[in-house]
């Protein structure tokens, strides 16, 4: 039998019936057509999307998808886009997620203490995601996300894992190169590093940042929203320009880090994908398995907390309180803010440091400036519970404030200085230089960073009001500014003299800022 020469590798074609070859090619060509059309939308060739549809994120195959009937052999569906996340307890829980190009039978993960001994086998959950087509603008797209919950793990232990399904066994000799690894949180606090940024997208700069992050050997990474920019408009409306296949590219790009470093995300305005209910977060719920330690994992999947060593981490959904982009304003009915008050109080009595991250900026002078909704809803709680560090994205630059107390400078914190949140106030960091196109600071305002300090007394900027108006401000708290791709790296020191050593690194690895947080010293 002659094998077709239109895309099936010869060795694979020999193992497939004609029916299987037909199904393989039909799927491949259909997917290629969807990619071309959606890519044209993302590139601006087709604009002004109209119409709406209901997307699904369920365990059963979505309408129009390739059914899990074995028509395509499992060996064809190679897993990709592996990404980790902690469960509610990072010492004993890990969540493994990945993607396959079409539906598969009986997905699972193998886990063990050695790469050649993946003895524990755990069934995975299938979350199909169907994005309807828009006539003349994009074809319907089906995506398949798989998730496995690992509980009862040993603290401070390195595990090896492989993901698979019928026809693709990661424990076989030919698949051992696909085995990944992760480490659970230690039983007792010890010094560790975590990294953070927002506004990544898919680009060579995003990949460069990922590589430098991996070299820091972080215990986990915080992504402060605007994850991949499949929705390029960011208004949270079904008229936004949207290409779901950008997620395929993003998860492939991120896999080099996220397959071994828990990738803890929250929601930005570009992550409100209006095609998926509820609140435009159905896509996020399909693609990510995040801690269920918030107040409503279904309606607010980007809201949760966890403790690693001597640091408590809180993730928030700023879309709920934003004055600037109100598509989801008030979507939690005040429940998120009530939960935040309670959770910060619980953490304050159990850890040395509390770090909060979310998307919209509380304090920034760049393009989007500051969101008054964030300030009105949450700053009183940050002050009440003496939060130690706040990390935002949204503005595609690096900017760091002095310690802010009562809305003004509590203490100037130049590069290399130390601050005490119990006395000086809170430092706010905008780390939005992860990889998307960069923004600029107000006209006439120069960058000022380590090795190139250009201090100035004040910066003319604005903050968003409840009426969606720009209220002009002249502020004195903008201490460090860097117009370049970058990320945040934090070393949390445990023991008798706990401290946070906070650094900002450019995509080249060069340090552009550093300061220290120590409480009650």
Domain final residue pick, 180, 204, 227:
180
Q: Report pLDDT digits (tens) over 2-39.
A: 333 334 454 444 444 333 433 443 444 344 434 333 33
The per-residue pLDDT for 137 is 78
The per-residue pLDDT for 9 is 52
Same domain, 371 and 413: yes
Name the domain count of the chain: 2
Tell me the sheet residues that pair with 503: 489, 514
Same domain, 289 and 263: yes
- CA angle (269 as vertex; 503, 130 as ends), nearest 5: 120
| Mean confidence (pLDDT) of the chain | 88
Residue 139's Cβ-side half-sphere holds a number of Cα atoms within 13 Å equal to 16
Confidence of residue 64 (pLDDT cuts 50, 70, 90): very low
Same domain, 218 and 166: no
Read off the CATH number of the domain in which 401 is found: 3.60.21.10
Span 215-239, mean pLDDT? 96
Same domain, 251 and 386: yes
Among residues 306, 311, 355, the alpha carbon closest in space to that of 494 is found at: 311
- CA angle (39 as vertex; 248, 78 as ends), nearest 5: 25
Same domain, 113 and 235: no
Q: Is residue 263 part of a domain?
A: yes
Confidence of residue 449 (pLDDT cuts 50, 70, 90): very high
Six token digits for residue 64: 């129009």
Q: Domain span at residue 48? A: 17-180
Domain final residue pick, 155, 180, 205:
180
The per-residue pLDDT for 303 is 98
Residue whose structure tokens are 């009530």: 338
Same domain, 133 and 272: no
Q: Report pLDDT digits (tens) over 87-108.
A: 999 999 999 999 999 999 999 9
Buried residues in 112-145 as b, exposed as e (16+ CB within 10 A): beebeebeeeeebebbbbbbbbbeebbbbbbbbb
What percentage of residues in the chain have a pLDDT greater than 70?
A: 86
Q: Is residue 34 part of a domain?
A: yes
Which has the higher per-residue pLDDT, 303 or 64?
303
DSSP E strand boundaries for 207-273:
220-223, 263-265
Q: Report pLDDT digits (tens) over 238-274.
A: 889 999 999 999 999 999 999 999 999 999 999 999 9
The per-residue pLDDT for 172 is 85
Same domain, 227 and 330: yes
Q: Is residue 231 part of a domain?
A: yes
Confidence of residue 173 (pLDDT cuts 50, 70, 90): confident
Q: Report pLDDT digits (tens) over 466-488.
A: 999 999 999 999 999 999 999 99
């Amino acid at each position: 039998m002659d094998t077709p020469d239109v895309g099936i590798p010869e060795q694979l074609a020999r193992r497939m019936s004609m029916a299987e070859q037909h199904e393989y090619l039909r799927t491949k060509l259909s997917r290629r057509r969807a990619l071309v059309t959606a890519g044209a939308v993302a590139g601006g060739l087709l604009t002004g999307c109209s119409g709406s549809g209901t997307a699904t994120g369920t365990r059963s195959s979505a309408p129009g998808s390739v059914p899990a009937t074995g028509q395509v052999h499992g060996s064809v569906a190679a897993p990709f886009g592996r990404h980790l996340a902690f469960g509610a307890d990072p010492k004993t829980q890990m969540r493994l997620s990945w993607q396959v190009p079409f539906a598969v039978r009986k997905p699972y993960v193998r886990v063990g203490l050695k790469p050649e001994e993946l003895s524990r086998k755990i069934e995975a959950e299938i979350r199909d995601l169907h994005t309807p087509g828009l006539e003349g603008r994009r074809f319907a797209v089906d995506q398949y996300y798989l998730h496995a919950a690992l509980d009862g793990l040993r603290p401070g232990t390195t595990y090896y894992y492989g993901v698979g399904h019928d026809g693709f066994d990661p424990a076989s000799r030919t698949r051992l190169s696909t085995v990944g690894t992760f480490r659970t949180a230690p039983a007792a606090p010890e010094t560790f590093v975590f990294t953070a940024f927002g506004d990544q997208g898919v680009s060579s700069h995003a990949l460069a940042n990922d590589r430098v992050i991996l070299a820091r050997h972080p215990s986990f990474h915080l992504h402060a929203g605007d994850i991949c920019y499949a929705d390029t408009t960011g208004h949270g409306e079904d008229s936004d320009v949207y290409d779901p296949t950008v997620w395929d590219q993003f998860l492939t790009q991120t896999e080099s880090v996220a397959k071994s470093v828990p990738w803890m995300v929250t929601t930005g305005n570009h992550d409100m994908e209006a095609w998926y209910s509820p609140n435009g977060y159905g896509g996020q719920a399909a693609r990510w398995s995040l801690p269920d330690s918030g107040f409503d994992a279904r309606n607010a999947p980007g809201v949760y907390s966890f403790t690693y060593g001597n640091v408590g981490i809180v993730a928030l959904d700023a879309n709920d309180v934003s004055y600037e982009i109100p598509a989801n304003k008030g979507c939690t009915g005040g429940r998120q803010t009530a939960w935040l008050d309670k959770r910060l109080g619980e953490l304050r009595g159990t850890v040395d440091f509390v770090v909060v991250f979310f998307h919209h900026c509380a304090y920034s002078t760049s393009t989007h400036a500051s969101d008054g909704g964030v300030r009105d809803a949450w700053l009183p709680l940050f002050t009440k519970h003496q939060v130690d560090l706040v990390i935002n994205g949204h503005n595609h630059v690096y900017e760091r404030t002095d310690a802010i107390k009562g809305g003004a400078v509590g203490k100037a914190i130049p590069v290399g200085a130390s601050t005490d949140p119990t006395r000086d106030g809170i430092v706010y960091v905008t780390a939005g230089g992860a990889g998307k196109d960069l923004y600029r600071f107000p006209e006439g305002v120069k960058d000022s960073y380590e090795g190139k300090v250009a201090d100035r007394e004040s910066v003319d900027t604005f903050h968003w009001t409840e009426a969606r108006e720009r209220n002009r401000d002249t502020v004195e708290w903008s201490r460090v500014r860097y117009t370049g791709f970058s990320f945040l790296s934090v070393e949390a020191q445990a023991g008798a003299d706990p401290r946070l050593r906070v650094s900002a690194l450019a995509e080249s690895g060069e340090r552009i800022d550093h300061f220290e947080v120590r409480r009650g010293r």
